[in-house]
Amino acid sequence: MDPRRTETAEAADLHLAINPGTDIDLMNGMAHLLLRWGKLDPTFIDECTSGFSSYTEVLQHYAPELVSRRCGITVTDLEKAAQLWGKAQNVLSLWSMGINQSSEGTAKVTAIINLHLMTGQIGRPGTGPFSLTGQPNAMGGREAGGLSQLLPGYRFVMNAQHRAEVEAFWGLPAGRIADKPGRTAWEMVLGLESGEVKMAWVAATNPVVSMPDIDRTKAAFRKSAFTVYQDAYFPTEMSAYAHVLLPAAQFSEKTGVMVNSERRVTLCPAFRSAPGEARPDWEIFAEVGRRLGYAKELAFNSSAEVYAEFVQLTQHRPCDQSAISHQRLKTDGPQQWPCSIHHNQPSARLYTDLRFHTPDGRARFVAKHSRGLAEPPDERFPFVLTNGRLYGHWHTQSRTGRIPKIGKLHPEPFLEIHPRDAGRIGVKDKDWVEVRSRRGSARFPVTISKGIAPGTVFVPMHWGELWAEQAEANAMTHSAACPDSKQPELKACAVQLVPISQITVQQQPASTKAEVVTLR
């Protein structure tokens, strides 16, 4: 499923080019048909799940004809997708940011999981919902508590027992850990804007390119009284907003652990020295903490010691890694969690006992209706702009933009548009258009393609102002976010397209990237 005909779609037996924002309609439509045809696993539903009756009530509202109109696909293709799922012995579903970066991202994910639960497609080889996270160590970051609402070991700030467990382990007085989550990334931007946030410390990311509503984001960072920027690369777009630059070691220059989407824990040893004053991120954080008076708490001498403390906090948690150490990873190679000192046999597959991490051990159906896009197209802004990655480039090009081979593969950004829409606005291949939303604008050369759904246009997300002029995808996107995950809806916003020939301008926009000098 993708509004674009990607290389993955080219290899597929069935490509559903759904309209942006209709993922839940499609999933509920497939489930409606599976329910109608009796393609269920009633024993699994009765013995291992809860909430199925509420789910079936929602499904009654997703008849094939309605779903076909909303999604922009044929009833035949919808039925084929449901038939493929219903007949398959094993179903594996995979998704990434196209699902997650949405104002209803969590609801979309649960809609996928619901399909697995109603057909018992979980806990067996070749089955299950499989999130392809947006970063190589995204799962490891969450396990360590790397979100404002999390504590180590998938504990939650708002859970009193979880806070007490971490306070006891760290030897903190009861009540020291705040009982409310910290700010989300966008709330930090709003805090800088209002003056409530007095300083910013940005590490290993480039928010003045990657955040939504980028002009507003930049203006907020200009108001910051003190900004620390910590990264392995210079310059980036963010470095221009920093008062202090801290050089960080990159992956090849530091030793640490990563956890992939398969729960596989891998030791990544340094294989060369960091240049100049560059240091691993954990060393920088620990040194600042010690100078703030936490010398005892942050008296680590190596990343192995940091990891050894962390794994103790995972005991008896879903991600138990208490039997894993740097030494074991060196000796035995990568391990999968759970891998506990209490039962030292790693689990190659979860949920084989059909028991789940809920109080009653039952998986829960989550019944949600589709709400659609947070900013649907209208008469003034008739197109939906979606954005995404290109093979080869990584995020905002801080690293990949400096690799000549990738630069030749993708020399400039572009706007992909269906021939029918190109004819409507009067542009040809390679013509320039200005893309305007309610927040900002950007300019791109046109690529006409039948691989994009009519009414939808696509631009790559990688180009900031260092690499191209006026070509930032997030100049147009908005900040509406999922109420559960807090991820912004970066994948869809309403825009209008204006051919450059219709705009009175003094200069044609440049397509060449700015010269960048790497300083180490």
The mean pLDDT value for 9-30 works out to 97
Residue 224 sits in which domain range? Answer: 138-148+183-260+264-305
Q: What is the DSSP letter of 251?
A: G
Strand pairing report for 383-388 and 456-460:
parallel
- Residue 334, domain member (yes or no): no
Name the band, by pLDDT with cuts 50, 70 and 90, for residue 504: low
The span from the CA of 46 to the CA of 361, in Å, is 13
The span from the CA of 280 to the CA of 229, in Å, is 14
Residue 113: pLDDT above 80? yes
The span from the CA of 432 to the CA of 434, in Å, is 7
Query: Structurally, how many domains does the chain consist of?
Result: 3
Are residue 28 and residue 80 in the same domain, yes or no?
yes
- pLDDT tens per residue, range 188-227: 999 999 999 999 999 999 999 999 999 999 999 999 999 9
204 and 228 in contact (C-beta within 8 Å)? no
**343: CB partners within 8 A, 6+ apart:** none
pLDDT at 519: 30
CATH number for 210: 3.40.50.740
CATH number for 25: 3.40.228.10
**From start to end of 111-268, where are the E strands?**
128-131, 150-151, 155-156, 200-203, 227-231, 244-247, 256-259, 264-268
Q: Which two tokens stand for residue 468?
A: 């191209």
Are residue 112 and residue 187 in the same domain, yes or no?
no
DSSP string, 440-469: -EEEEEEEE-TTB-TTEEEEES---TTTSS
- pLDDT tens per residue, range 340-357: 998 867 678 899 999 999
Encode 177-200: b = buried (16+ Cβ within 10 Å), e = exposed. beeeeeebbbbbbbbbbeeebeeb
Which candidate, 56, 9, 63, places its Cα nearest to that of 33?
63
Are residue 22 and residue 83 in the same domain, yes or no?
yes
The span from the CA of 109 to the CA of 100, in Å, is 7
Residue 451: pLDDT above 50? yes
- Residue 12, domain member (yes or no): yes
- Residue 333, domain member (yes or no): no
- With 0-12 / 13-18 / 19 or more C-beta atoms within 10 angstroms meaning exposed / middle / buried, residue 114 is buried
The span from the CA of 93 to the CA of 337, in Å, is 21
pLDDT at 473: 97
The mean of the pLDDT values for the chain is 94
The span from the CA of 32 to the CA of 115, in Å, is 10
The span from the CA of 268 to the CA of 254, in Å, is 8
- Residue 176, domain member (yes or no): no
Query: Which residues make beta-bridge pairs with 155?
Result: 151
Residue 119: pLDDT above 60? yes
- Residue 42, domain member (yes or no): yes
- Residue 114, domain member (yes or no): yes
The residue that leads in pLDDT, 330 or 391, is: 330
pTM (predicted TM-score): 0.92
Are residue 94 and residue 188 in the same domain, yes or no?
no
Strand pairing report for 363-364 and 49-50:
parallel
CATH number for 461: 2.40.40.20
Q: Which two tokens stand for residue 234?
A: 């210079």
Which candidate, 113, 122, 87, places its Cα nearest to that of 13?
87
Which candidate, 299, 203, 306, 301, places its Cα nearest to that of 249?
203
pLDDT at 344: 67
pLDDT at 138: 86
Which candidate, 239, 248, 512, places its Cα nearest to that of 401?
512
